[in-house]
Structure 1
Amino acid sequence: MAQRELVVFLHGLGTGPSSWASQLASLPPGFAGFVPPIAGLDAGDPTPFTLRRATARLLDELDARGAARVHLCGLSLGAMVATQLAIDHPERVASLVLSGGQVHPPRALMALQSVLLRVLPERIVAPDGTGKERVIAVSREIAGTDFRDRLAAITAPTLVLCGARDVANLRGARALAAGIPNARLHLVTGGGHELNTDKPAEFTGQLLAFLASVGPSLHGDEGGDHPIGP
């Protein structure tokens, strides 16, 4: 049996590995899915979240699985982790799908988000159990991110996705597509921020068409399970 190419799905803040169920179930022969937790988001993990720490942990996970080069697909915070890894270790990334990501979050937007996070109840801010204070700390880390001068270091074929209704992230999507060499931008009509669950059929269709253009044949006879989690 030929070795399958690994597609690594990185979830957003407030969601988890299960949010990728539709995409995992749709992966064609020739590909296997892996949905690792993002370091620093688990309420039981005392280590604070940083993009560098999250990418280092992800590399450790990939090394443990003998995955030298993978396809990355990230949503929101997961897209930022994927971007960081693709900048720092371009040799490890076969392709890149970024949905609802940011390059340099607008200060006004992040200030408003900070205020909202403080006043909203924990059940709304952190429905997955991450914890309100941790979500606020992650938001602070994201606010300080600036990829603008480093996007040209990304060498992987890249698809940038964004929901047309995800107004807060449209600017970031366009900046990613403009800054990453040969990246392609696709806006999903009627789509919100969490495209993988909001518009799963269109998201999956875009993902599979993209993988078909950069990966092995989708008509091979390799099969197998699509694992979720570590």
Structure 2
Amino acid sequence: MASQAQTVVFLHGIGAGPDSWNAQLTALPDGYSGIAPQLAGLTGDEPFTLAAAAAAIRDEVDERGIERAHLCGLSLGGMVATRFALDYPDRIASLVLSGSQVRPNPTLMRVQNTIMRLLPERIVAPPGMTKHDMFSVLRSVAATDFRAELPQIAVPTLVLCGMKDRANLPAARELADRIEGAELQLVPGAGHEWNVQLPAEFSARLTAFYTRQRG
């Protein structure tokens, strides 16, 4: 495979899609290019797993001849990126995680599931997904616990979280604490999907991070 270490793979959240990264794809610094694949396994009969979604990203970079990629994931995409970094450490050059999780709060997950079961599918599931699909993803998320594995990550890591994304602030701090050398940036005025809400700010922070790695 040809060496293309300056490829950024953007991974979207559950309520978004690859086009949520359009602004970042066009604003990468010189020497970097980006791709934004669809997360695998969000729909269908097979249960969603982070490991399978990460394996699909590995297959994607294999097909493109990319030896080591920079991964940038938001929300569920951040959890898939973390799983990729742990399962394929020789295939990752750096890691950016925004609004991601370490071990979702079990009580909050149970409450969320109870409420969602009472709501109609059009409210619960994003376009293209069924209620069954959504619960499959949530089961995988609820079963996740990265705490013991995070110290294994040994690539430059930037942890981001909007200061309005209060539900994910504790996880952001824990990610930065458990990944050695990770940089934590809490972003004033930003919510959860701030790559879309504040695209120029998100891109500026990415550019600064990647420029530091290149330097």
Scaled to the shorter chain, the TM-score interval is over 0.9
Q: Kindly state the Cα deviation for residue 35 of structure 1 after the two structures are TM-superposed.
A: 0.8
Counterpart of 1:74 in structure 2 is 73
For residues 117 and 205 of structure 1, the distance between their equivalents in structure 2, rounded to whole angstroms, comes to 36
Highest relative contact order (Cα 8 Å, sep 6+), 1 or 2? Answer: 1
Counterpart of 2:28 in structure 1 is 27
What SS does structure 1 have at the residue aligned with 2:26?
A: helix
Query: CA 1:210 to 1:111, structure 2 compared with 1: closer, same or farther past 3 Å?
Result: same
Counterpart of 1:56 in structure 2 is 55
For residues 64 and 135 of structure 1, the distance between their equivalents in structure 2, rounded to whole angstroms, comes to 28
Counterpart of 1:165 in structure 2 is 164
Q: In the TM superposition, what whole-angstrom CA distance separates every residue of 1:147-187 from its partner, at most 9, and x where no partner exists?
A: 00000110110000011111111111111000001001111
What one-letter code is carried by the residue in structure 2 that aligns with 1:67?
I
- Where do 5+ consecutive residues of structure 1 fail to align? 217-230
Q: In the TM superposition, what whole-angstrom CA distance separates every residue of 1:38-94 from its partner, at most 9, and x where no partner exists?
A: 1111x3x43321011111111111111111101000000000000011112222111
The runs of 4+ residues in structure 1 deviating greater than 4 Å are none
User: What root-mean-square deviation, in Å, do the aligned CA atoms of Structure 1 and Structure 2 show?
Assistant: 1.6
In the alignment, is the contact (CA less than 8 A) between 1:6 and 1:70 conserved in 2? yes
Q: Kindly state the Cα deviation for residue 200 of structure 1 after the two structures are TM-superposed.
A: 1.3
Q: Kindly state the Cα deviation for residue 4 of structure 1 after the two structures are TM-superposed.
A: 7.2
Query: CA 1:4 to 1:80, structure 2 compared with 1: closer, same or farther past 3 Å?
Result: closer
In the alignment, is the contact (CA less than 8 A) between 1:157 and 1:182 conserved in 2? yes
In the alignment, is the contact (CA less than 8 A) between 2:5 and 2:67 conserved in 1? no
Counterpart of 1:114 in structure 2 is 113
In the alignment, is the contact (CA less than 8 A) between 2:8 and 2:69 conserved in 1? yes
Length-normalised TM-score, structure 1: 0.88
For residues 140 and 5 of structure 2, the distance between their equivalents in structure 1, rounded to whole angstroms, comes to 35
How many pairs were matched up?
A: 213
Q: In the TM superposition, what whole-angstrom CA distance separates every residue of 1:103-125 from its partner, at most 9, and x where no partner exists?
A: 01111111122123222332232
Q: Which moved more, 1:119-128 or 1:13-22?
A: 119-128
1:142 corresponds to 2:144: no
- Where do 5+ consecutive residues of structure 2 fail to align? none
What one-letter code is carried by the residue in structure 2 that aligns with 1:98?
L
In the alignment, is the contact (CA less than 8 A) between 1:103 and 1:176 conserved in 2? yes
1:39 corresponds to 2:65: no
What SS does structure 1 have at the residue aligned with 2:202?
A: helix
Counterpart of 2:12 in structure 1 is 11
Length-normalised TM-score, structure 2: 0.94
